[in-house]
């Protein structure tokens, strides 16, 4: 059929449009609506068979949770665990109670291939139908910690509109592969993606134990600078350190003899100059182990032994 006079053909644009539509259809089969709050449903992803990943801040109840896909039928789900520090929650579908989902498990891509400027899609199901938003990856960085102390393997910031109900939905590449879980709960004013590698790690722990084990020292710290002359006399390289501004009574730091006003210099020989350094030194694998903490007190360097505790569980929604 001849085109009407004055019209133009844009085959490349048409091909891109068809590719994006196919990507949404492919990834959208794994996207579910999560009914766990009074407002509109949030989104979730069927991450493994019978396992749905959602965002912690959108799961506002621990019981009577349901999920639904395009047919609108709701299926009961149980909360397997939540991790406020990474804003992730895991739900389990129970086939014995009708929880056999017609959704398909997400096809995942390699999140280490993400690049600044890459075209991506954010999907959600804040109701019966899948919705989509198109944009770019605006920033990619290394490992970082959330304001609650959770470790995220890779910083992925988006220039994508994440609409109400999109948190818990997937970040999708042009092939329809899921690269991570989108959330508005870890940053004010910017959409972020929790990469698939982090999601896998958290999901495995929550399914196994129902919680994420976190190291705990029981000391509040703030960064300080040691005078160059003092650092030189103490044989220290670098001036960054951490001052103990609060010590929890009966906590690991208190039991080790650390006092308010002590300056923490190193943990097992690794310098600490930022609170994130201390969090890294007290990882889940260190719980129950003894570490050597170098401190400065009254101008003198000394070493104390601290047994790493487990961070108390707090309800954070």
Tell me the CA distances in angstroms from 77 to 8, 55, 96, one per residue in order: 51, 15, 11
Residue 167 annotated among the catalytic residues of the structure: yes
CB neighbours of 257 closer than 8 A, spacing ≥ 6?
A: 304
Note if 87 is an active site residue.
yes
- Catalytic pick among 35, 43, 57, 277: 57
Catalytic residue among 43, 83, 87, 133: 87
- Separation between Cα atoms, residue 161 and residue 122, nearest integer Å: 8
In angstroms, the Cα distances linking 139 to 20, 45, 131, 192, 293 are: 22, 23, 24, 10, 35
Is 9 known to be catalytic?
no
Report the alpha-carbon distance of residue 181 to residue 197 in Å, rounded. 10
Of 68, 167, 256, 273, catalytic: 167
Strand partners, 66: 35, 76
Residue tagged 């991506």 (tokens): 120
Q: Which residues are annotated as catalytic?
A: 57, 87, 167
């Amino acid at each position: 059929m001849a085109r009407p006079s004055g019209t133009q053909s844009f085959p490349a644009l048409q091909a891109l449009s068809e590719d994006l539509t196919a990507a949404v259809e492919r990834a959208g089969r794994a996207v579910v609506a999560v009914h766990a709050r009074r407002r509109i449903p949030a989104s979730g992803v069927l991450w493994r068979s019978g396992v749905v990943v959602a965002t912690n801040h959108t799961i506002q109840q621990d019981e009577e949770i349901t999920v639904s896909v395009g047919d609108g039928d709701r299926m009961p789900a149980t909360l397997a665990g939540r991790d406020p520090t990474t804003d992730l929650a895991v739900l389990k579908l129970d086939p014995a109670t009708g929880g056999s989902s017609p959704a398909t498990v997400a096809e995942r891509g390699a999140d280490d291939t993400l690049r600044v400027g890459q075209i991506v899609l954010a999907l959600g199901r804040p109701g019966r139908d899948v919705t989509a938003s198109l944009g770019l990856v605006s920033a990619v960085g290394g490992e970082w910690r959330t304001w609650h102390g959770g470790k995220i393997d890779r910083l992925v910031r988006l220039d994508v509109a994440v609409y109400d109900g999109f948190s818990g939905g997937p970040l999708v590449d042009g092939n329809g592969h899921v690269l991570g879980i989108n959330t508005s709960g870890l940053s004010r004013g910017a959409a972020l993606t929790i990469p698939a590698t982090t999601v896998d790690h958290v999901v495995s722990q929550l399914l196994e134990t129902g919680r994420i084990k976190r190291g705990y020292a029981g000391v509040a710290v703030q960064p300080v600078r040691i005078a160059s002359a003092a650092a030189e006399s103490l044989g220290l390289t670098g001036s960054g350190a951490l001052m103990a501004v609060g010590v929890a009574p009966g906590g690991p730091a208190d039991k080790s003899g650390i006092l308010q006003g002590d300056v923490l210099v190193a943990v097992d020989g690794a310098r600490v100059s930022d609170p994130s350094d201390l969090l890294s030194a007290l990882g889940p694998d260190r719980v129950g182990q003894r570490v050597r903490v170098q401190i400065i007190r009254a101008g003198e360097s000394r070493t104390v032994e601290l047994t790493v505790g487990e961070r108390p569980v707090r309800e954070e929604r």
